[in-house]
Structure 1
Amino acid sequence: MSDSMGDKIKGVAKETAGRAIGDEDLEREGEAAQESAQKEREAERLEQEAAEKRADSADAKADEMRRS
């Protein structure tokens, strides 16, 4: 399990606990943890996408040089 998934689970737990006991601060903390986890997952996805594009570009350049 990735760190962001663990953070999301913790966030859901905090939000749910806060809602159950009427602790608005804990509920907000849980919501913030979930948002942070979502942003972290999106950043990881974008980093992976960029790495794939760099690899594709390097492959294309190598192919071009072989043809020259």
Structure 2
Amino acid sequence: MDKFVFLFLACILAGFALINLPLAGSPLAGIQPITSLIGIVAVLVFSLILIFKGIMALAGK
């Protein structure tokens, strides 16, 4: 098993945490769209990497 798989899973979880970060009512409420966008991009990128690695493992490379 690749040693980076758990790091990729942790990055996906961190992306979900950024998406669900409650900033309403705080001084940082203005950056909520930015944190959501970063979270969505992180989840998409690292999910695609894990899918690619799974396909490569099934292909035997």
Q: Could you say which TM-score interval applies, normalised by the shorter chain?
A: 0.5 to 0.7
Per the alignment, residue 15 of structure 2 pairs with: 7
- Superposition CA RMSD, Å: 2.6
The two structures have a TM-score, normalised by structure 1, of: 0.50
Aligned sequence identity (%): 2
Larger radius of gyration: 1
Q: Which runs of 5+ in 1 are unaligned?
A: 59-68
Give the gaps of 5 or more residues in structure 2. 1-8
Q: 2-side partners of 1:49 and 1:29: how far apart?
A: 30
Deviation above 4 Å: which 4+ runs of structure 1? none
Q: Is the 8 A contact 1:5 1:37 kept in 2?
A: no
* Higher share of residues assigned helix: 1
TM-score w.r.t. structure 2 length? 0.53
Q: CA deviation at 1:5?
A: 1.2
By relative contact order (CA 8 Å, sep 6+), the higher-ranking structure is 2
